Structure formats: C-alpha cells, structure tokens
Amino acid sequence: MNFIRNIINRKRHYLLYSILFFVLFSSVFAQKVTATVDVRSVTINDVISFTISAEGISSNPSVDIAPLLKDFSVVSGPSQQSNMQFVNGKMTSSRKISWTLIANREGVIKIPSLPVKVGRKTYKTNELTIKVSKSQVSDDPDDLFILSEIDKNSVVIGEQVTVGYKLYTRVNVTISEITFPEYIGFWTEELYTPRQIDFRDTQIKGERYKVATLYKVALFPTKIGQISLPSMVINGNVEVKSNKRRRSVWDDPFFNSLDPFFNSRSTKLKVIRTEEDVIEVRPYESKAPSGYTNAVGQFVIRGIIDQNEIKANEAVTFRVELEGTGNLPILKIPDIEFPADLEVFPPTTEIERDPFRDEITGKISIEYILIPRKPGTYMLPRIKFPFYNPSTRNWESTETQAIRLTVHPGEQTISTGPGFTKEEIVLLGKDIRYFRSEIPMWETSDAVTFNWKYFGIYIIIFGLYFLPGMVVNVQKQKTGSAQSRISKSALRHAIKSLKNPGEDVFEHSASSVYLYLKERFDLTSVNLDPLAVEKQFTSKIDHKTLLSLLEILKVCDAGRYAPGAIQRADTLLDETVNVLKEIDGQI
C-alpha cells in the first residue's frame, strides 16, 4: 500500500510541475498584444467595438487610450475578459479589454499604436484605419433622431443665442446617457432641463412621431469670430424585431398579433447626435459710447429713494433698478459718484428673472444705504446706462432722474473735523467724568447692608428656575393619582359588570375580564386574547391563578362558537369573580 501511495504522490508532483512549466513557458515565449475592431467602414452614427487582446500573460494589462479621444468618444467600457485553455497538451491564456467607440468626425481616421503595460514590460499595439462616412437616410428610415434648434446664427458679441434640443422617435427607446456639449466661448444660462423626459405626439411630413425636449440653454458669446457648437450625443437602447432564420408554427399571423408574447424582440445600442453648428459673432457697427458696460438688449433704469427729507445722521435708502431683456447675468451698473458729505455703505444686489421666457428677462436691484452727516440739500446724480439694441442695431441709453435730498439739522451732530464733542466723549466710554454737584451718600467698606431690590430679583430668578419642574411634578401626581383611583376601582367595576351579564354570558364575561386587566395593570390597549394574557401576565400573577384565568377565557371563546360549552354558563360568572378577586389580592 505504501508503494502505491508513493507512486500516486509522484504522479501528482509531475502533473503540478508540468502545469507550472507550461504556464511559465507560455508567459515567456508566447506573449503577444494586438488591437482589433469589429468593422472597418462605418457611418458617423455607428458604434465601433475596439478590443485589445494580450496572449500569454498572467496579469491584467494597463492601456492608455488618451490618443484615441481626439477622434473618438467612448460610449461604454472598458470591459475585461480572461480565458485559459489546453490545446494538444499546451496551455494558452489570453486577456481582452474592450471599448465601444463612436467617431467624432467623417473621413479616414487612423487608430494609432497604443502602449500596453503588462507588469514591468510595455508593448505596442498595431495601427488600425477606420473609414467614417456621412450617415445615409437609407441606412435607417429616420425612426430615431435628435435636432438642435437655434434661433439665430449671426449675432454681435453679448447677444443671446437660444439653443434647444429635441428627440424624435417612432420606436421604443430607453436613454442610457446624454453627453451635453461644452460651449467654449460662451457665457451660458440654463433655461430648461426636464426632471423626466415627457413625449408628446407630432407630425413631420405626414409621419407620426413622439417628440421630447431634452435641454434648452441661452448662450452669450464672449469673443468675436466663428464659434462652433459641439454635438449633443445620446446613447440609447432601441427595441428591434429579431430576424427569424426559419419558419415555425409561431410565424402564423395569429401569433404575431399577440406580440410581444410570440413575436420575439431584442434591443440594440444606438448612438445619435446633432449636427455641429457654427455661430458667427460680429463686432459692433460703431464705436461704443462712454460708460458702456457690455450691455446688449433693451433696458430701462430707475432711481428710487425712500424719503426726500430727513435729519442729519439719519439713514436713507437709495435703490437703482435696471429692468429689461438681454444679457442681465453679466451686466454691471456704472459707478455712481455720490456727494462728499454722504456716507455710503457697500450696496446689496438682487437679481429677479422671469422663468417663463426663453429670452433672459428680469430686473437687477442695487440698494445703497446713505447717511448725510451735515444738514443741507444734496443732489443724487443722474445715472446714464448705455446699451446696444440688437433689434435696431443702434446704440441707445436710459438714465435716471436727479433726486433732491433735503437734510435738516439733527438733534445730534457728529463733527468730521478734529476734536470731540461732549456726546462723542460719552460714546467713548468713561475716560472723562464730569463734576458732581450733589454730595454722594458714602458707606463704610465693612458695613453690612441689605438690598431688598436685589433680594427680590434673586427670588424671582429661583422661582422661574424651579417652577417648570414643580409644574411637571404636580401634573405627574395628578395623573398618577387618577390612574391609581382607576386601578383600585377596577375590581369593583368588573364585579358590577358581571352582575348584569345580559344575553351573551360568554361575551360579557370575556370583555369584563379584559377590561379589568386593562384598568388594573394600566395597559395601553384592550385588544387582548388568551395568548396575549398568558405572555404579559406570566410574571405578574400566580401560576395557578393564571391557569384558572386562561381556562375561563378559553371557555368564553368556546361558548361563543361551540354549543357544548353552554352547560358552564351558570357557574361561569361566579368563577370569573373569584379569579379576579384572587388576582387583585396578589397585587
């Protein structure tokens, strides 16, 4: 037996050594890295499966695909797959990394050689060439597409461009991802983003479609020239019918009418995008006027003061309101030169926008707090606000009216020159004390005095501190005494109730027992049954007494449904009273 065991152990060792040898041999002499694609010719909206395969390696490869991202966008991935098999006594291992890509432009695109790092070694993949052509209508009969709607393609710098994106479909589609464009060269203000995509019915050239608005944005160009709008890209799963290779009994029109139960369907990954657009941004036709702050649109400015007559050192509110339609979010009010004797505090700004209009419309309110330090008449200056009106292609302006502010002498005057007034000295603290005209009442330092005023204050403080606790204790005592009275009178109520049983002795006895238990033990609910009573009162009532109580309750339940229990109706009331007295005596 030992001889046989030694032979088996040797064979196991030989097998393990052989496997280890094949693994090392394959990893050293059969390492190979290649790149492949599933198709070499696609349209602009087709996806490409790009795979990097590494053979004869024992660890996952690391790939940098940054060189791809200039001409391709990643739809999904990376996904990894590993495989190991024995062929003719040789073990082969391979690992694959795959991405789903979509081309960003038309033409012949070259996928460059990519570095693949495996452990401490770096390999290079082979180059690939992809031909990307324009999407043909015949490829897909416009069952699913997305359109970008632009209100204008030629504007001046700062003029609003409204862009909306709508999805049209005639098939069932589930959107998995939306890639929003990056608007380089524009100031953006979001107008509409739905919480959930809602479709409505529409028609295009007599064909019925479902349409949904995906996004709407206001763009304000910040530079002159040709600015491109990138595409919005949508990844979705489209429901398609599966191609049937052979006919079967299920090809009958009857079963096809019962779709989707008998007519098989599947989903297909679909990537759609908008066409790239170009916005032409023109310079102004003429030189901007003095004081221009890049305002484009139509505006009205107003100056409002809350009161025209005040006293010196009193505050007045001056508010500037700019209302209109245009590039409100990036506007700036011209600087205001206030009179020298007006102290001006930093303003607060508030922007109100109309959410129901695509054109940015609203009001900018700037509020100043002014304090005149001297009496007199002050003139708040006019505020002139120039802007470019794209509707008339002319420079226009709006301005406020000059506002007169009359300041009367106040009861207190704060000097702005050197020196201090008596009032200022009082405000500074106790640095200077004036002479007393009366003789003070001096007290000796060791004299003991009693101040009734402070004593009364202390009494009130202590009373307020302890009063809530006293009130709570009184309420608890009242509640406890009331509950105690109910608990002590529970037996009396139960006996009184059992003396008048009514027509159904069993029902009345059970309800009297349950009511007694609730009142005597202060239970929160009267919804009891024999099982609940046994569970709650096992540790509160003597075991023998508890068994008697449970027997009575079971007899009551049986008496309501089993005619055989009626014979105990005559003695049931007396038994119930005796058991309740026993329970009450044990508490």
| Digitized pLDDT (tens) for each residue of the chain, 587 residues in all | 555 555 555 656 555 555 555 444 444 444 788 899 888 888 877 788 899 888 877 677 888 888 888 888 888 788 888 777 766 666 677 788 888 888 888 889 999 988 888 878 888 889 999 988 876 544 444 788 999 999 999 999 999 999 999 999 998 888 888 889 999 999 999 999 988 888 999 888 888 999 999 999 999 999 999 999 999 999 888 887 665 554 555 455 555 555 555 555 678 888 888 988 999 999 999 999 999 999 999 999 999 999 999 999 999 999 999 999 999 988 888 889 999 889 999 999 999 998 888 899 999 999 999 999 999 999 999 999 999 999 999 999 999 999 999 999 987 555 444 444 434 434 444 455 544 555 556 555 555 555 666 677 778 887 777 777 776 666 655 555 555 556 667 788 888 887 777 777 788 888 888 888 888 777 765 567 777 788 788 878 888 888 888 888 888 877 765 555 566 677 888 888 888 888 888 77
> What pTM was computed for the model?
0.55
Q: Which residues pair with 318 in a beta bridge?
A: 305, 368
The upper half-sphere exposure of residue 574, i.e. CA atoms within 13 Å in the direction of its Cβ, equals 4
Q: Is 552 exposed, middle or buried (0-12, 13-18, 19+ CB in 10 A)?
A: buried
Bridge-based pairing state of the strands 90-103 and 233-241: unpaired
Taking CA atoms, 419 is separated from 37, 327, 414, 423, 429, in Å, by 88, 51, 11, 12, 16
Total residues found in the chain within this entry: 587
Distance between CA atoms of 159 and 153, rounded to whole angstroms? Answer: 11
Taking CA atoms, 405 is separated from 52, 341, 399, 459, in Å, by 79, 12, 18, 54
**Residue 488 belongs to what H/E stretch?**
helix 452-488
| 162 within 8 A of 216, measured Cβ to Cβ | yes
Q: Which residues contact 467 (CB under 8 A, 6 or more apart)?
A: none
Closest CA to 226 of 279, 190, 273, 186: 279
Bridge-based pairing state of the strands 154-156 and 277-282: parallel
**What does R_g of the chain's alpha carbons equal in angstroms?**
46
Exposure string of 449-461, with b = 16+ CB inside 10 Å and e = fewer, is: eeeeeeeeeeeee
| 385 within 8 A of 334, measured Cβ to Cβ | yes
| 388 within 8 A of 311, measured Cβ to Cβ | no
